[in-house]
Amino acid sequence: MRRFEVRTTVRQQFVEITDLVREAVAASGIAHGICIVYVPHTTAAVTVNENADPDVVHDMTLWLNRVIPQDQPGFRHGEGNSDAHLKASLIGSSVTLVIDQGSLVLGRWQGVYFVECDGPRRREVIVQAVGS
């Protein structure tokens, strides 16, 4: 198992972590199997999406903020970050990826993103590789 830190600089941010996940997979020594990328936070998430066009991240952020605005009337959570909890739950706390011949398998345009929903903060990402 490998852990690494992600530091975010704004309240909502997508941070590409593909290379860090690749390094964790390479260090695992697993040739064939899967890896779990897990974010142990209630207001952060992880996803796989296009990393060739930055407008995709822009559009995702725009949509999330439009559908779940921070100042939604009726939110009751005392910390004032109910929107961040909802966004993180919708995106999810983990992704499962394939390892083949010691390398992470991703589609041509895919990248792995850490998703900050309540920053700026220092966060942890855990990568667990399983296989042979």
Q: Is residue 50 part of a domain?
A: yes
Q: Is residue 62 part of a domain?
A: yes
State the Cα torsion 103-108-112-115 to the nearest 10°.
Answer: 180
Contact (CB, 8 A) for 99 and 47? no
CATH of the domain at 47: 2.60.120.460
Q: Is residue 132 part of a domain?
A: no
Domain count, the chain: 1
Q: Is residue 78 part of a domain?
A: no
Q: Measuring CA to CA, which residue among 110, 106, 125 is closest to residue 8?
A: 125
Contact (CB, 8 A) for 48 and 95? yes
pTM of this structure: 0.96
- Give the contacts of 97 (CB within 8 A, at least 6 positions apart): 21, 34, 35, 37, 48, 104, 105, 106, 112
Q: Is residue 88 part of a domain?
A: yes
In order along its 132 residues, the chain shows pLDDT tens digits of 999 999 999 999 999 999 999 999 999 999 999 999 999 999 999 999 999 999 999 999 999 999 999 998 899 998 989 999 999 999 999 999 999 999 999 999 999 999 999 999 999 999 999 999
Q: Is residue 77 part of a domain?
A: no
